[in-house]
């Protein structure tokens, strides 16, 4: 099964997928493509080290959203993508993409959806919101991406961590990332088994 991973940044979630595919934890799978929204990010380096094809598709290179979406869909199709995994992809995609990959596109979000999700809830903002709300626990969610909204699809897996006294957004982010790196490969294997 061909997995294409969409990224925008450092790629620690991508690395978790690379490692779990390499050790056989995600059976019958290969990462066929890493598609980044930005050039010069470490995700691309991680892919190159693992001899995985990379492509950068960024807004500035296309006249409009439609043309950029066409390019994304073409790149995914070219690799025979069976499953799209959004792993730190920071751009809201056109609904054309989850429609083309209904039931075959997942995303990881660094909070316990439905809490602290939706537009504007990305990166440190998520953890700031968790702390501001006084939540005593947080975690991560892997969900299907649908065409109804941001972070709105059916939940596949969640992992929980405590929020501790003295937590800063950065400390909480690191604790949540350790859960992300576990549940994203697990969810990927679960979804692939159903395809």
Residues taking part in catalysis: 109
Binding string to ligand GRF for residues 119 to 158, with x set by CB under 6 A, is what?
----------------------------------------
Only one of the segments 28-36, 50-58, 72-80, 108-116 lies at the binding site for ligand GRF (rule: CB under 6 A); that segment is 108-116
Helices 42-49, 12-22: crossing angle, 10 deg rounding: 10
Expressed in angstroms, the distance from the first to the final Cα of the chain is: 9
Residue 33: helix, strand or coil by DSSP?
strand
Q: Does 159 bind ligand GRF (CB under 6 A)?
A: no
How far apart are CB 131 and ligand GRF at their closest, in Å? 15
Of 11, 81, 85, 82, which Cα lies nearest the Cα of 48?
11
- With tokens 């604790």, the residue in question is 175
The answer to the question of residue 37 lying near ligand GRF (CB under 6 A) is no
Other Cβ atoms less than 10 A from the Cβ of 156: the count is: 20
Taking the least distance from each CB to ligand GRF, the nearer of 44 and 100 is 44
Token reading at 11:
């790629």
Which residues form the interface with ligand GRF (CB under 6 A)?
9-14, 87-88, 108-110, 177, 180
């Amino acid at each position: 099964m061909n997995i294409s991973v969409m990224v925008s940044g450092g790629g620690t979630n991508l690395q978790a997928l690379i490692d779990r595919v390499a050790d056989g934890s995600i059976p019958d799978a290969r990462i066929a493509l890493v598609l980044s929204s930005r050039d010069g990010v470490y995700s691309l380096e991680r892919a190159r080290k693992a001899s995985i094809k990379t492509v950068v598709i960024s807004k500035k290179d296309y006249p409009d959203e439609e043309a950029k979406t066409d390019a994304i869909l073409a790149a995914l199709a070219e690799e025979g993508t069976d499953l799209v995994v959004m792993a730190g992809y920071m751009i809201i995609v056109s609904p054309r993409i989850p429609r083309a990959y209904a039931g075959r596109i997942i995303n990881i979000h660094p909070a316990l959806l439905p809490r602290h999700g939706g537009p504007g809830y990305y990166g440190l903002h998520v953890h700031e919101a968790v702390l501001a709300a006084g939540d005593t626990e947080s975690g991560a969610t892997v969900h299907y991406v649908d065409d109804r909204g941001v972070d709105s699809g059916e939940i596949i897996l969640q992992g929980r961590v405590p929020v501790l006294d003295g937590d800063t957004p950065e400390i909480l982010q690191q604790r949540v990332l350790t859960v992300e790196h576990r549940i994203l490969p697990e969810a990927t294997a679960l979804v692939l088994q159903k395809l």
